[in-house]
Amino acid sequence: MYSYALLESGCYYLIQEKENANLSLIRINMESDHCVFVSLFGDEEKLVWKRKTDPILDIIELLDDKAVEAWESTYNKDAFNYEEEEDE
């Protein structure tokens, strides 16, 4: 079992918080002495505080810059297409 204390600010990770849960893409935005401020990416970005001691079942992968760029282009394109559909 891992915790949020292991994750570095400014980095994107694929994690699984609980057994049988879906994988989540997160970014650690900043950290304080006891907590981290996290972006959770799903249909929408969600900003949450997590305790550094909060458990993570598995840290699947630290995404490199190339993977982050590829994901961002897809994620942003999907958000843009969704907004266009609402205007019609």
Six-digit token pair at 60?
A: 């699947």
Model pLDDT, residue 75: 79
Report the DSSP beta bridge partners of residue 46: 40
Report the DSSP beta bridge partners of residue 49: 37
Model pLDDT, residue 86: 55
Could you list the pLDDT tens digit for every one of the 88 residues in the chain?
A: 899 999 999 999 999 999 999 999 999 999 999 999 999 998 889 999 999 999 999 999 999 999 999 998 887 765 555 555 555 5
Report the DSSP beta bridge partners of residue 13: 26, 62
DSSP for residue 20: T
